[in-house]
Amino acid sequence: MLAIRGMNDILPENIRAWQHVEHHACALLGAYGYEEMRPPMVERTELFRRSIGEVTDIVEKEMYTFDDRNGESLTLRPECTASLVRAAIQHGLLRTPGRRVWTMGPMFRYERPQKGRYRQFHQIDVEIFGVGGPSAEAELILLSRRLWTALGISGLALELNSLGSRAIQARYRTRLVEYFSAHASMLDADSARRMETNPLRILDSKNPSMQALIEEAPRITDQHDAQARAHLDQLLAMLDEAGVAYRLNPRLVRGLDYYTGTVFEWTTSELGAQDAVCGGGRYDNLVSEIGGPACPAIGFAIGLERLVALLETQSVELPAAVPHAWLASNGDRASILAHAVAESLRDAVPELRLVVDAVPGSFKAKLKRADRSGARIALLIGDEEARSGTIAVKDLRARVPQSMVSIDDLAGHVARNVLTQ
Ligand code: ATP
Ligand code: MG
């Protein structure tokens, strides 16, 4: 039996990179005042249809939707903003303005699997509820920039656009329809259909043959009113002041319909076609559209598979998790003692990474395993040592003679010789 296509096992040899990302994200989000929450992976299908939008790739063709045994239509979450908003409304989190939350976990989209694009993938999702001004945008962008630095990743570029209010989007829609109608023969089938339903989505087309036409399309920024312009200008001033480089991209619309105002993406040139590592934006209408109070909101999601791939491409050194010590026993008496000795050692030296090898077998085989593990020292207990209350300490990385240490002195010896190196 094999795993489902597009759904990956994350194996022990890759887990350090994942833990590196999770550890730094968790620490940094906590430091900026964000609280973690964990909504379920399944929601009513209706939630995603209403939030992401009926005429989007995600809702039209990518959702894992099924009827449960009561005949209710449920969907594996394709993204997490809708779930967090639903949960925030349900549990009254929006009563405190400026609430900052985040979550992390798997998302599911029935896409064509390829490098950087999977059917189960993972995101870190970060949201701010109740802040209407551009300080929320600036904070999210600065937080993400700090995360790239903390992870050791460089070279990500920030793209920004502002989609403005629904009124601006409606005016823009008219301009787009005029433009694309004048070039109807150049539209692919998907785009021709979207002319009728959701013309903004045409700009999000990944079809290479559509790109030249999209490049020449009218710009949404030309439809901005004074308020949209002021919001964007203030944000840009904040970013300039904080030394953030960005590129304004008037064609950036993102693949979900709930966005209003600022949208942004962090991209890389090092991963091929799947170049967006993080994307987000403002969605000031979504909370009320799915039954909550009027509440401006903004968020972003990081694609963890792509971030982990970048760690590899950029050869970022990851903290090693090799054991410090490998405790091996040989003989009945010694093997009974081994775990008790190890537990006392762990009590005395809590940060010690120690593996116990007390299965039947020769010291020779166990030393081989100890060596392969990368451990600094091996602690050997035979029946003779068990009787005399001593342990043989063998340095696996330096040519020094083996020493005999009394069990009572072992913790001090290990702490001095192993943790300090
Ligand atoms: P893309 O344009 O690459 O399809 P998207 O705009 O659909 O991305 P979002 O829904 O905004 O992506 O999700 C945010 C991030 O999640 C993306 O920038 C990307 O890093 C990651 N992501 C999205 N879909 C996938 C997928 N199928 N496999 C792996 N990562 C993904
Ligand atoms: Mg997509």
Is there a domain that residue 34 lies in? yes
State if residue 113 touches ligand 1 by the CB under 6 angstroms criterion.
no
Could you tell me if 248 and 331 lie in one domain? Answer: no
- Selected residue with higher pLDDT from 417 and 78: 78
Q: Are residues 390 and 273 in the same domain?
A: no
Domain at 336, CATH number: 3.40.50.800
Produce one character per residue of 391-420: b if its CB has 16 or more CB atoms within 10 Å, e if not.
bbbbeeeeeeeeeebebeebbebbbebbee
Q: What confidence score (pLDDT) does residue 421 get? A: 55
343 and 308 inside one domain: no
pLDDT digits (tens, 9 = 90+) for 208-252: 999 999 999 999 999 999 999 999 999 999 999 999 999 999 999
- Strands 35-36 and 99-108, by their bridges, are parallel
How many structural domains comprise the chain?
A: 2
Annotate 129-147 with DSSP letters as a single string.
ES--STHHHHHHHHHHHHH
CA distance 273 to 104: 24
Quick one: pLDDT at residue 418? 83
The verdict on residue 291 lying in a domain is yes
Of the chain, the end-to-end C-alpha distance in Å amounts to 45
Residue 366 above 60 pLDDT?
Answer: yes
The mean pLDDT value of the chain amounts to: 95
| Structural domain span for residue 90 | 12-164+224-313
Where is the domain boundary, 254, 279, 313?
313
Q: Is the pLDDT of residue 83 over 60?
A: yes
Residues of the chain above pLDDT 90, percent: 92
| Pocket-testing residue among 83, 107, 308, ligand 1, by greatest number of atoms within 8 A of Cβ | 107
pLDDT of 393 reads 96
Ligand that comes closest to the CA of residue 79:
1
Residues 244 and 300 in one domain: yes
Whole-prediction pTM value? 0.93
Ligand 1 atom index nearest CA of 206 = 2
**Which atom of ligand 1 is nearest to 275's Cα?**
3
Domain end (from 283, 313, 343): 313
Residues 295 and 340 in one domain: no
How do residues 4-16 score in pLDDT, each as one tens digit?
Answer: 999 999 999 999 9
* Structural domain includes residue 194: no
Q: Which residue's CA is minimally distant from atom 29 of ligand 1?
A: 117
Same domain for 146 and 74, yes or no, is yes
Paired residues of 222 in beta bridges: none
**Considering only CA atoms, which residue is closest to atom 15 of ligand 1?**
303
**Pairing state between β 247-248 and 157-162:** parallel
pLDDT confidence of residue 305: 98
In a domain, 199, yes or no: no
| pLDDT interval class at 166 (50, 70, 90) | very high
Q: ∠ CA 303-305-310 to the nearest 5 degrees?
A: 95
pLDDT at 321 (0 to 100): 80
Mean pLDDT in residue range 377-400: 94
In a domain, 149, yes or no: yes
* pLDDT at site 319: 79
Percent of the chain residues topping a pLDDT of 70: 100
| pLDDT-based confidence at residue 86 (cuts at 50, 70, 90) | very high
User: Tens of pLDDT along 277-316?
Assistant: 999 999 999 999 999 999 999 999 999 999 999 999 999 9
Same domain? 241 vs 350:
no
The reported pLDDT for the residue numbered 405 is 96
β partners of residue 276: 267
Q: Are residues 414 and 394 in the same domain?
A: yes
CATH number for the domain spanning 233: value is 3.30.930.10
Measured from the Cα of 123, ligand 1's closest atom is 16
- Is 175 inside any structural domain? no
Give pLDDT tens digits for 110-154.
999 999 999 999 999 999 999 999 999 999 999 999 999 999 999
The answer, yes or no, to whether any atom of ligand 1 lies below 6 A from the CB of 118, is yes
148 and 89 together in one domain:
yes
Same domain? For 367 and 263 the reply is: no
User: What is the Å distance from ligand 2's center to 255 Cα?
Assistant: 6
User: At 42, is the pLDDT very low, low, confident or very high (cuts 50, 70, 90)?
Assistant: very high
pLDDT per residue as tens digits for the range 263-275: 999 999 999 999 9
Q: Indicate whether 388 and 254 sit together in one domain.
A: no
